[in-house]
A and B are shown apart, each in its own frame.
Chain A
């Protein structure tokens, strides 16, 4: 198959040699592969962006998952931002709340756009809508943000994995965070090389992250990991824009992520047999949800005992 880039090195080299944005190369490659016009491709991505906007909006109004295990945290964080007392800063926490909002909608079986997966769907839109307030992008730039994220995700998916069952959470929230970091850099006017540095810095920070969903649900710890992912990407993007580089090249970090995923026990890869899922509370939650226990009082007793 004819592609413009197979790894990050080729992507950055091409961007530099041809004086093009990473998003532009992703669009051109999609045109080659799908045989569709630029306009059709933009229209489809615009539709995905709209789904993301609607999900955040819905999550910020407050949702509850079917189990009652997650929901409502995005609202709490927004209310906290409004008090003006936040330590992390408004932009960072705004990204966190919007990432959480999206993933709470996902947990509630709402409509979302997988980026790159559903379990990690909060990070890319969460960061996008937060930096939007600071950078004031055009609609086209917002759509390009998704193409830039997609270019890096494309490389990870083909050279490593974006599946929790295959590679652990590092492959899902890890990939999503790194994709978002690279896209933030482009939107902020950074170079293609800086995008790749941001990507590498972000992914390095989550190597080895296990996928251990309590009761096998995409709720705990997934929702809060999207918050962690969103903040990770914003910090890494800022670092790259400041001129910080990764000592380990981007493609090698992706390779390391893949090998780490391969050597992780299956108990830690979306089977709900290890990690948080195997804690006493994790098991009690599983029992309550699937064998008719009382989840409400279980959650309440945990809150009061802490």
Chain B
């Protein structure tokens, strides 16, 4: 089931005018920021389908930038996010695409700073609800409705068990988990939905496990 809570239907409380194009867009921006781990310095925002056709009218542009500045769906500053982004040193560019994606409301955010780069693709499935469909080329399905951690690692035996053990040691319960890899023996990605938000300390412990290259989290 894509929609689990009554508040997916009666809610969110948000700045208008569109739940999928404004609130959903803000959430995609915010989750992308979470996954990047900090505010990026620059971002290229590729828009597909209905997002590409109507983003200006729906405030999709200000909403995504607002999300990247960590604003929630009901934050009044969404309206002035372009000016806020300039103050915060975030450069952005919108690129409407003509290609078709699997979902009509899709945004792909390629972002970075002096240290690293990351790409995150999100879809807005209606009523403000979103899913993250791709991170750094890895296909995945992440709703953003649960706290989650993403672990990029070498595709070696024991990696998954080590991460699971580390979470178990801190009494963090795993609700759902997916592992995907682009090619056998190369890089893989673990997407782990967990029952509660975890702090930086646990995140940093996971990052020290052998063959783990990057760890990011989504709080909820």
Contacts and interface: CB of A to CB of B under 8 A. Distances in A.
Contacts, number: 176
A51 B13 contact: yes
Interface stretch (A76-84, A133-141, A151-159, A237-245): A151-159
A110 interface: yes
Contact of A270 (B1, B5, B104): B104
Given A213-B57, A218-B58, A290-B56, A119 B17 contact: yes
Interface stretch (A93-101, A161-169, A228-236, A292-300): A161-169
Given A114-B128, A273-B53, A158 B3 contact: yes
Interface string B47-80: 0011001111111000000000000001010110
Contacts of B23: 114, 118
B126 A163 contact: yes
Contacts of A215: 57
Contact of B79 (A109, A124, A164): A109
B16 A218 contact: yes
Task: Pick the most buried of B11, B18, B55, B74: most chain A CB atoms within 10 A of its CB.
Answer: B18
A107 B21 CA distance: 13
A219 interface: yes
A213 B128 contact: no
Given A154-B3, A158-B2, A166-B104, A114 B58 contact: no
Interface in A261-306: 266, 269-273, 289-290
A111 interface: yes
Task: Pick the most buried of A41, A157, A269, A271: most chain B CB atoms within 10 A of its CB.
Answer: A157
B161 interface: no
A246 interface: no
Given A109-B79, A161-B126, A163-B126, A114 B104 contact: no
A45 to B, nearest CB: 7
A206 interface: no
A164 B13 contact: no
Given A48-B10, A153-B9, A157-B9, A111 B57 contact: no
Contacts of B1: 1, 3, 6, 158
A258 to B, nearest CB: 12
A150 B54 contact: no
A151 B3 CA distance: 11
B22 interface: yes
B10 A150 contact: yes
A271 B18 contact: no
26 contacts: A30-B5, A30-B7, A44-B11, A45-B6, A48-B7, A48-B13, A107-B16, A108-B16, A114-B12, A114-B14, A116-B126, A117-B20, A118-B128, A124-B10, A146-B10, A149-B10, A154-B3, A157-B3, A157-B8, A164-B20, A171-B126, A216-B56, A217-B58, A219-B17, A271-B54, A272-B57
Interface of B: 1-23, 49-50, 53-59, 74, 76, 78-79, 103-105, 124-128
Given A115-B10, A116-B19, A116-B127, 8 more contacts: A26-B6, A48-B10, A114-B11, A114-B14, A118-B19, A124-B10, A154-B6, A154-B9
Closest 8 CB pairs of A and B: A216-B54, A163-B126, A106-B16, A216-B57, A218-B17, A153-B9, A150-B6, A217-B57
